[in-house]
Amino acid sequence: MNIRFILLVLVLIPLTGCQTALDDSEQNMNEENGNTIHVADRNRQYHQTFRNDERKGRFGYARHQASPVENKNEIRSPQINRDEIANIISSLTVQLPHIQDASALVTDEEALIVYKTNSKQREKTADQVKKTASSVIPRFYDVYISDNENLIQSIANFSQLGSNSRNVDQLMADTIKDMQKSPQGNLGD
């Protein structure tokens, strides 16, 4: 009888330790990422078997759960990296047929794209450029495009300015007015 009891205790002790380790792992995962739960992180061994190169083609997924926050001032809202979005827009635009050059400027509310094209179908090209830019930025942005190569320098000049620069709103409005003389494309809404 004593031998059976000792064997039973010896078997149950490691199992109890494993369960505690699993509970601690889940708790650390939630604490480590705040209230973000990454599904791939639930099984760390599975996650570590993939190298970064193998994960490039995988889908992106995140889940957030509401939790009480003591200090609301500490909550950070997502922000748009305007330089990165401008880079993506211009990079995608030059990949379109008949586009040789593209410049993009992204502000708080607008995206301005000027491109050089050899296409005779200005409206069709404008549609493609507008759809490309609109696919990258949030929907509330206004997108202005132009195939007038002379405006490339105009929007490049804005890259040194910011939202709080003096007279930037008036300068931007004048440039947008010049851009609107070119076909503006159709999003097909």
> Span 82-179: which CATH code?
3.30.70.1350
d(CA 131, CA 123): 12
- Rounded to two decimals, the pTM is 0.63
Output 87 or 48, whichever has higher pLDDT.
Answer: 87
Mean local confidence (pLDDT), 61-82: 71
* Per-residue pLDDT tens digits for 132-149: 999 999 999 999 999 999
Question: Which pair of tokens denotes residue 169?
Answer: 């709103």
Tell me which residue has tokens 């827009």.
89
Q: Cβ of 158: how many Cβ atoms within 10 Å?
A: 16
For the ranges 17-26, 72-81, 125-134, the maximum mean pLDDT occurs at 125-134
Whether the predicted pLDDT of 101 surpasses 90: yes
Whole-angstrom CA distances from 27 to 6, 23, 31, 46, 168 are 32, 6, 6, 18, 49
Rg (CA), the chain: 27
Q: Please state the domain extents for the chain.
A: 2-74, 82-179
d(CA 34, CA 184): 44
